[in-house]
Amino acid sequence: MNTPFVWQGRVDTEEPGDSTRWHQRVQTFDAASHDGVALIGFAVDEGVRRNGGRPGAAQGPHALRGALANMPVLGEPALWDAGDVACPDAATDDALDTAQEALAQRVAAVMAQGCRPLVLGGGHEVAWGTFQGLMRARPDLKKPLIVNLDAHFDLRQAARGNSGTPFRQIAQWCAAQGRPFDYCVLGISRFANTRALFDRADELGVRYWLDEALQSPAQMAQAQASLAQALQACDGVYLTVCLDVLPAPVAPGVSAPSTLGLPLAQVETFIDQVLATGRLVASDIAELNPALDPAGVTARLAARIAARMARG
């Protein structure tokens, strides 16, 4: 495990009202932790490297916690830090599988204690670990829905898992288990996915919305109405946000910045729609790459999204 993050930051000692910040609220997750939200870091970018992307997301959890530290507490539940999962020996073929298995175990453990996991990535290979842990903790879910805000399908075929394969891996797992694969992706770019990926999405019955079809209020209303039907039909939601769904000027610190992307207001609208159902059971944020984010703007944006998810 990596060195534990030290939560510290500004303390407004002269402020007469409630000035509590995240660094003053977050506690270390242990056997007595119950309810609330548990942060789990996935300090891994081996999947990004295997996928030919720009590595650096392994430092994402540390940067995201740093951006969260001074976030004001405004209605958050109990906040726990369950530490990081790392991938120290990336040279071995099973290193990524081992890290994803460790993440699955930790996700299942925090859920067993009644906490909702919020996983901080790390590459989008985080999704395979989060999903495995979710299903171990909640085998009773018959119709889980995956909602992914992303410019990419991440349905690639590859001999070894990587950041582009997690939802294809989930689809295969669902097929083997005789379970439905219910996958919605918002923000897909026609300029970042091959014909093969669009065809695979169609074969698997994936519901997706292009980034260019989510720019106006009328387009958003149509997508929200369709998403509402999927949310109504499910019995639990796994929400995953890849930061490359946002435009490159506001989210430069990712492996593959988007030329168009979805404005932050649209991204938050979809997140709020999921939260409003009360059916969110697990979530994660992927692809924060501090090495490509020298001004820290992507980390601050990710922290805003994380705090929004935590507040429900």
Number of domains in the chain: 1
Tokens of 96: 């990524």
Q: Is residue 4 part of a domain?
A: no
Q: Is residue 252 part of a domain?
A: yes
| pLDDT band (50, 70, 90) for residue 91 | low
Q: Is residue 109 part of a domain?
A: yes
Q: pLDDT at position 3, please?
A: 77
Q: pLDDT at position 1, please?
A: 45
CA distances from 61 to 3, 58, 88, 103, 109 (A): 12, 7, 15, 13, 19
Strand ranges of the sheet holding 27-28, from the earlier edge strand across to the other edge: 27-28, 79-86, 37-43, 116-121, 280-286, 236-242, 144-149, 182-188, 207-210
Q: Is residue 15 part of a domain?
A: no
Q: pLDDT at position 169, please?
A: 98
pLDDT surpassing 90 at residue 264: yes
Q: pLDDT at position 90, please?
A: 63
CATH of the domain at 93: 3.40.800.10
Q: Is residue 8 part of a domain?
A: no
pLDDT surpassing 80 at residue 126: yes
Q: pLDDT at position 2, please?
A: 62
Mean pLDDT of 58-85: 97
Q: Structural domain of residue 84, as residue ranges?
A: 22-311
Rounded to the nearest 10 degrees, the angle between the axes of helix 297-311 and helix 60-68 is 70
| pLDDT band (50, 70, 90) for residue 92 | confident
pTM: predicted TM-score of the whole model, two decimal places: 0.97
Q: Is residue 1 part of a domain?
A: no
SS3 content of the chain, % helix, strand, coil (to 5): 40, 20, 40
Q: Is residue 91 part of a domain?
A: yes
Tell whether the torsion through CA atoms of 223, 172, 238 and 40 is positive or negative.
negative
182-216 pLDDT, tens digit per residue, is 999 999 999 999 999 999 999 999 999 999 999 99
Q: Is residue 2 part of a domain?
A: no
